[in-house]
Amino acid sequence: MPRTRQTAAFALITVAALSLTACGSGDPVAAPAGAGAVVKGKTPTTDVVSSVERDDGAAKLLPEKVRASGTLSLASSVGAPPGAFYEEDGKTLAGADIDFADAVARKLGLKLKREVASFEAILPALGSGKYDVGTGNFGVTEERRGTIDFVTYINDGQGFAVRDDSDLKKVTDLTQLCGLTVGTGAGTTFEATLEENRHRCADEGRKPYEVKTYADQAAVWISLQQGRSDVLMSTINGLRYAVTQQEGLRFLNEFKRLDVGFAFKKGTPLAPAFQAAVNALKADGTYDRILKKWGTSESAIRTSQISPPEIK
């Protein structure tokens, strides 16, 4: 993906403020307030999905009821490129998560009934049966594996970004953040990691870092730009993309890698079919084409797994 910096800071990403709307896969959907970012400017448009053909072997693994209905309800968390975002019209969804979900649906011969939902609301909603599957760069953790099943499709993880005037060069231990304000997304593994380790600063007699959480990714970046946050913790792929689009910011380093997967209610019968579909996409080359389109080839996995142990 081209990495040309834009001259105006934060010119590409603006917060959307429209109402929540459900839609079928591929149809426009209005951007709900706080649910994601509208990207202004050129983004990848290569069609890597429409040529995907049904895989009968994978489709046969679906429960009979699902095969009969031909549809699944999908909750999508929309944040920022390259994962999932709104095109400039404020309605068209794009990103790697969108392409992967649509490609898997085609492999399984299904139509997705996609609804945009906030990141922190999706996992509980899966447990209640409101949705069949969720996407949103959900990292596989031991805590989540207790209540959620995953089918992995990429490897991403946790990283940091700062303004160019920051003294931070690399974060290898969270005590390096003592006394700083860290911005991150609400309900994420980043928030959990930061809160679990915040006591370590006090344990060393140092001022704890402050954690500021935001419901949408655009607000996180604005907090960094405006100096309300000293450092930002988010997805590796998202950080690497965003700093190429905004002046005065830099990616620090990867902190921890995590497998990322489609999320399901614990005990779902859908997991084997989704796993087979992801592996079929790898076999026919679609998988690599999606990663190449979004500049995330380093996130490729060797094979899809069902709820693997958290990467330590």
- pLDDT < 50 stretches in the chain: 1-35
CA 212 distance to own-chain centroid: 19
Gap between the Cα atoms of 10 and 247, Å rounded: 8
The pLDDT, as a whole number, for residue 40 is 61
Residue 149 structure tokens = 């099943």
The pLDDT, as a whole number, for residue 176 is 97
Residue 101 structure tokens = 């979900």
Q: Which helix (DSSP H) or strand (DSSP E) does residue 236 occupy?
A: helix 236-245
The pLDDT, as a whole number, for residue 167 is 95
Give the pTM. 0.82
The pLDDT, as a whole number, for residue 12 is 42
72 - beta bridge partners? 112
| Chain segment 68-116, per-residue pLDDT in tens | 999 999 999 998 889 999 998 889 999 999 999 999 999 999 999 999 9
The pLDDT, as a whole number, for residue 31 is 43
Residues 6+ apart with CB under 8 A from 158: 139, 189, 190, 193, 233, 234, 235, 236, 254, 255, 256, 258
Gap between the Cα atoms of 91 and 87, Å rounded: 7
